[in-house]
Structure 1
Amino acid sequence: MICGSPEIDVDLLQLCTEYSKCSETDDHIVWFWQVLREFSHEERSAFLRFVWGRSRLPVNEKAFPQFFKLQSFSKQREGRSVDEYLPVSHTCFFSVEMPTYSSQAVLREKLLYAIYNCQAIDGDGDSVAANRLGWEE
């Protein structure tokens, strides 16, 4: 049996969101919610798979086993534009690190690219991916 609603309620997700190193009023966070609302049903479902490994939300707030965590991306290297980075998801923790992009259009482009092209979990076992994220020592 598949649990959860096939329709992804962005308002419910926003209600069940915690913020880390950012505020819900920061430009990139406001843009994130606007972009998510503009996504098609398929894109919203793909977003959930990207950040949680599931394609459906629980039916109500009480049914969430954990809240969604939205964080500002903190691994930016000196001298590099934030627009060069992709969002980083952590499916075990139902979270995403969102760079402070320069525009809503850039956020949309990078988020869609990450959703459909970044399937590795946190770069585990992939030194190239880890290096791109700035995880090398």
Structure 2
Amino acid sequence: MQVTEDNKKEYVRLYVNWRFMRGIEQQFLALQKGFTEIVPIHLLRPFDERELELVIGGLTSIDINDWRQHTRLKHCTPDTPVVKWFWQIVESYSEEMRARLLQFVTGSSRVPLQGFKALQGSTGAAGPRLFTIHCTDAPPDNLPKAHTCFNRIDLPAYESYQKLYDKLSQAVEETCGFAVE
């Protein structure tokens, strides 16, 4: 069937369904069977996907200096207030919140063995994708937006440290954190 203007939305819906559900169904079912042979399903029900990853993988100590050193800045500088506040917030967070922030932005709470310089995008594209802080002109009432494929967080120009802290914490704790781009 040829894709036309009339059926393009249906095509996209079917393609996404195939790409993220049907196309990996056999592999997922095999993984699920093996996993639930080791860990009974009733023990997994209390956890959401973020908590489960933390339980399975455990927390690692995140080297903030390595993180900062291997972070790309887009439309901002290290002296941009929101960037300075971001790092102050990261330093103030517990290890768990740092891991959750990292998971919010990258899709994983773990840092590669080689450190942040070896961070990969969630699409599996070859080569590293550095953690990126992108300062945007979005309204300051918006939450930060994460693009896990690119390891990028979009930060509006918040007017204070407290506003960024509140919005970032809310985004990390209450949203899935994924944007399709």
TM-score range, shorter chain: 0.7 to 0.9
CA distance in 2, matches of 1:120, 1:32: 17
Question: 1:57 and 2:114 equivalent?
Answer: no
Q: Does 1:37 align with 2:91?
A: yes
Could you tell me which residue of structure 2 aligns to residue 105 of structure 1?
162
Give me the whole-angstrom Cα distance separating, in 2, the residues matched to 1:23 and 1:50.
22
Q: Distance in 2 between matches of 1:48 and 1:38?
A: 14
Determine the structure 2 residue equivalent to 1:117. Answer: 174
Q: Using the TM superposition, give the Cα deviation of residue 75 of structure 1 relative to its aligned residue in structure 2, in angstroms.
A: 3.3
The alpha carbon displacement at 1:10 in A equals: 1.1
1:86-121 C-alpha deviation (Å, 9 max, x unpaired): 100000100000111111111111000000111152
The SS at the match of 1:7 is coil
Change (3 A) 1:31 1:55: same
Aligned position for 2:136: 73
Distance across 2 between alignment mates of 1:75 and 1:105: 18
**Structure 2: distance between partners of 1:86 and 1:17:** 20
Q: Which amino acid aligns with 2:144?
A: P
Percent identity for Structure 1 against Structure 2: 31
Are the counterparts in 2 of residues 73 and 87 from structure 1 also a CA contact under 8 Å?
Answer: no
Structure 2 CA distance for aligned equivalents of residues 61 and 98 of structure 1: 20
Structure 1 unaligned regions, length at least 5: 77-81, 125-137
CA RMSD in angstroms, aligned pairs only: 2.3
TM-score scaled by length of structure 1? 0.77
**Residue type of the alignment partner of 1:92:** C
Distance change (3 Å), C-alpha of 1:120 and 1:37: closer
- Deviation of 1:22 (Å): 0.9
> What is the CA–CA distance in structure 2 between the aligned matches of 1:13 and 1:120, rounded to whole Å?
19
SS at the partner of 1:93? Answer: coil
| 1:24 alignment partner, SS class | coil
Q: 2:82 & 2:156 partners in 1: Cα distance?
A: 8
Deviation per residue, 1:47-72 (Å, 9 max, x gap): 01100010111233553322111111
TM-score, reference length from structure 2: 0.59
Structure with greater helix share of residues:
2
3-state DSSP class of the match of 1:92? coil
Contact 2:85 2:161 in 1 (8 A): yes
Q: Which residue of 2 aligns with 1:95?
A: 152
